[in-house]
């Protein structure tokens, strides 16, 4: 569907290769969404005046990619929306939990990565707990959240702890909060931007997952193999990690939340498929909540953080910029001609 003025874009384009090449974002294996997002990041980089970054392949061949920034710009913290967010990212890298997997190159130089998105989306809530409470109540209606106690990145309640999942699974972001009765709750968040659910996965899940899948009562078919492979295995692992923390008594309740763009249809399809495997919730079980990135941006606006909402939208969701680039390319390449408006003379029918 071609975008209509003053209407939200409901479908992203297949971008002409010439446009992608012009902005150094022509990547052979990109999905339709990732291609658009990569172009959007390159356009953002250009508006910010940031130098393009270089990718070194397995063969040692170097090439520039528009969705990367230079190492120097990355070290300055320019992959983040503000210097304050960059400071949080640096501190989290320095004080990361034992066993955490924080890839410095992805975090500081890859504009397309969901890792810097996690910081850009949530780091400001570490310094403003009242804002954090308002935003979280907006994206999880009905939650009993009196106050936010902590904001954690790349967090696990216990890596490789056999009383949990016994491996290195972790949440991109986690909020610890206090309920109205004083008990503690957990909001465990998985952030995706262009990911498809086909990312590298463990070759085999350990037997602890089978135990938890049965004892939690979360799943209609706890032994179903589809839950243990892409594109569902990451949802399965992190959901059970949050559930195991509740069952162990770490928290009185928890919520497992996916944050992803509405138009990333591969992830949205995976989320719908995963939800179809879940039983109706009973007391003590951890709900799975799918929140569009657009809803999170709206929540910031509703909570009064209008500048942050606009910055997030411009960086990650302003598909109008992609539409402008495509329309300009189509217009520039369109041939022109003068239509023949003279009526065509036809022979008169002969009398019978």
Distant-in-sequence contacts of 316-320, Cβ < 8 A, 24+ apart: 316/37, 316/40, 316/117, 316/120, 316/193, 316/261, 317/261, 317/293, 318/40, 319/9, 319/12, 319/36, 319/40, 319/263, 320/3, 320/9
Tell me the pLDDT band of 202, cut-offs 50, 70 and 90.
confident
pLDDT at 182: 98
Cα angle: 108, vertex 199, 120; to 5 degrees: 30
Host H or E run for residue 266: helix 265-276
- In angstroms, the CA 210 to CA 84 distance is 42
pLDDT at 335: 75
Please indicate, yes or no, if residue 51 is contained in any of the structural domains. no
Other beta carbons within 10 angstroms of residue 283's beta carbon come to: 5
Dmax of the chain from CA atoms? Answer: 99
* Contact assessment for residue 239 and residue 155, using Cβ atoms and an 8 Å cutoff: no
In a domain, 267, yes or no: yes
**Domain assignment of residue 115, given as a range:** 80-311
pLDDT in tens, 289-318: 999 999 999 999 999 999 999 999 999 999
> How many domains would you assign to the chain?
1
Q: Are 210 and 162 in contact (CB under 8 A)?
A: no
Question: Is 281 contained in some domain?
Answer: yes
Least confident of 209-213, 217-221, 239-243, 331-335: 331-335
Q: Is 79 within 8 Å of 37 (Cβ atoms)?
A: no
Whether the upstream peptide bond of residue 138 has omega within 30° of 0, thus cis, is no
Residue 43: what pLDDT?
98
Region for residue 89 given its phi and psi (left: phi exceeds 0; alpha: psi -120 to 50; beta: otherwise): alpha
Query: For residue range 141-194, what is the model confidence (pLDDT) as tens digits?
Result: 999 999 999 999 999 999 999 999 999 999 999 999 999 999 999 999 999 999
pLDDT reported for residue 203: 82
Query: Is residue 305 in a domain?
Result: yes
Decide if 258 contacts 290 (C-beta within 8 A): yes
Per the domain annotation, does 273 fall within a domain?
yes
SS3 255: strand
69 is a domain residue:
no
The answer to whether the predicted template modeling score (pTM) of the entire model surpasses 0.85 is: yes
Domain assignment present for residue 35? The answer is: no
- Residue 207, token pair as written in the block: 């037997």
Q: In this structure, are residues 36 and 11 in contact, taking their beta carbons and an 8 Å threshold?
A: no
Least confident of 87-101, 284-298, 335-349: 335-349
Mean pLDDT for 314-339 is: 89
Q: According to the model, what pLDDT value does residue 346 have?
A: 62
Q: How confident is the model at residue 348 (pLDDT cuts 50, 70, 90)?
A: low
**349 in a domain, yes or no?**
no
Phi, psi at 311, each rounded to 5°: -65, -40
pLDDT of residue 344: 66
């Amino acid at each position: 569907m071609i975008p209509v003025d003053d209407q939200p874009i409901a479908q992203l384009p297949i971008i002409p290769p010439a446009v992608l090449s012009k902005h150094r974002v022509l990547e052979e294996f990109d999905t339709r969404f990732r291609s658009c997002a990569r172009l959007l990041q390159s356009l953002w980089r250009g508006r910010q005046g940031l130098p393009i970054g270089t990718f070194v392949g397995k063969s040692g061949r170097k090439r520039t990619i528009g969705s990367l920034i230079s190492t120097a710009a990355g070290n300055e913290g320019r992959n983040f929306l503000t210097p304050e967010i960059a400071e949080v990212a640096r501190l989290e890298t320095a004080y990361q939990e034992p066993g955490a997997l924080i890839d410095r190159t992805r975090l500081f130089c890859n504009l397309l990565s969901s890792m810097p998105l996690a910081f850009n989306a949530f780091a400001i809530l570490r310094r403003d707990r009242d804002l954090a409470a308002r935003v979280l109540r907006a994206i999880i209606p009905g939650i009993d959240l009196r106050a936010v106690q902590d904001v954690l990145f790349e967090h696990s309640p216990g890596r490789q702890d056999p009383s949990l999942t016994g491996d290195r699974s972790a949440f991109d972001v986690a909020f610890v909060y206090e309920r109205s009765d004083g008990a503690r709750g957990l909001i465990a968040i998985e952030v995706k931007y262009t990911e498809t659910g086909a990312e590298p996965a463990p070759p085999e899940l350990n037997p602890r997952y089978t135990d938890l899948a049965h004892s939690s009562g979360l799943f209609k078919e706890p032994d179903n193999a589809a839950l243990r492979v892409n594109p569902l295995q990451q949802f399965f692992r992190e959901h059970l990690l949050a559930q195991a923390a509740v069952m162990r008594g770490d928290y009185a309740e928890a919520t497992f939340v996916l944050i992803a763009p509405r138009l990333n249809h591969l992830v949205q399809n995976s989320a719908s498929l995963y939800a179809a495997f879940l039983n109706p919730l009973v007391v003590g079980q951890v709900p799975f909540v799918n929140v569009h990135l657009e809803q999170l941006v709206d929540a910031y606006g509703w909570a009064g953080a209008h500048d942050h909402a606009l910055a997030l939208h411009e960086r990650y969701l302003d598909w109008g910029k992609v539409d402008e680039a495509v329309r300009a390319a189509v217009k520039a390449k369109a041939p022109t001609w003068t239509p023949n408006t003279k009526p065509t003379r036809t022979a008169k029918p002969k009398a019978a």
